Structure formats: structure tokens, C-alpha cells
């Protein structure tokens, strides 16, 4: 059985036509999560400069449903990456 616990996902969206990106993203999340309160609890961060979108805590099923919402371009799980660097003085 797949893990259904919420994990942070990055959601890329079309740029909203209004300046209040957060309210647009909350409405999009509400359509999947069932309420504005749940959407606000799930929302982690709103992106509005380099990209348009948000990050939110979603189950795999919620992420799949969200990817089908109007204006949503892509939903991807957040991944942490470890930087590999040489110890000080070892760079060539």
C-alpha cells in the first residue's frame, strides 16, 4: 500500500492575473482539499517572482488531483539534495 501521509510538493501554476497570488493558490488547493481552512493549513510557501506557484503538504492522491486543476502546470514532490563539496584547501 502506498504511503498516504502528506509530504511537501512544489506546485507550478500559470501566473495569476491578480496581484494576490496567495488567495488564488488557496482557492486551487481548496478545490482538492475541501475547505479554505485545510488549504491554509497545507500551504507552505507562495512563489511569485522567479516562478509562479506554491508548496503545500499533500498526500500522493491529493497531488494527483491537484495536477488536474485548471492553471496547474506541474506538481512535483519536494526533494532535498546534499551538496558534495571538497574540504577547504582541496579545490583545484
**For residue 33, what is its C-alpha cell?**
482539499
Sign of the Cα torsion 40, 43, 47, 52 reads: negative
**CB under 8 Å to 34, separation ≥6 — which residues?**
none
Q: What's the pLDDT tens digit per position in 14-46?
A: 998 888 999 999 999 999 999 999 999 999 999
Confidence of residue 2 (pLDDT cuts 50, 70, 90): low
- pTM for the whole structure: 0.75
Residue 60 backbone dihedrals phi, psi, to 5 degrees: -55, -40
Q: In sequence order, what are the residues at sequence separation of 6 or more whose Cβ sits closer than 8 angstroms to the Cβ of residue 15?
A: 52
Distinct helix (H) and strand (E) counts, the chain: 3, 4
Q: Which of 7-11, 69-73, 86-90 has the lowest mean pLDDT?
A: 86-90
Q: Determine the topology of domain 7-77 in CATH.
A: Alpha-Beta Plaits (3.30.70)
Amino acid at each position: 500500500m502506498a504511503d498516504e501521509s502528506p509530504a511537501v510538493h512544489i506546485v507550478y501554476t500559470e501566473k495569476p492575473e491578480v496581484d494576490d497570488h496567495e488567495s488564488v493558490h488557496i482557492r486551487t488547493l481548496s478545490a482538492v482539499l475541501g475547505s479554505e481552512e485545510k488549504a491554509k493549513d497545507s500551504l507552505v510557501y507562495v512563489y511569485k517572482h522567479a516562478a509562479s506557484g506554491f508548496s503545500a503538504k499533500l498526500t500522493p492522491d491529493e497531488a494527483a488531483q491537484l495536477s488536474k486543476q485548471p492553471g496547474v502546470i506541474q506538481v512535483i514532490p519536494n526533494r532535498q539534495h546534499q551538496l558534495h563539496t571538497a574540504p577547504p584547501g582541496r579545490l583545484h
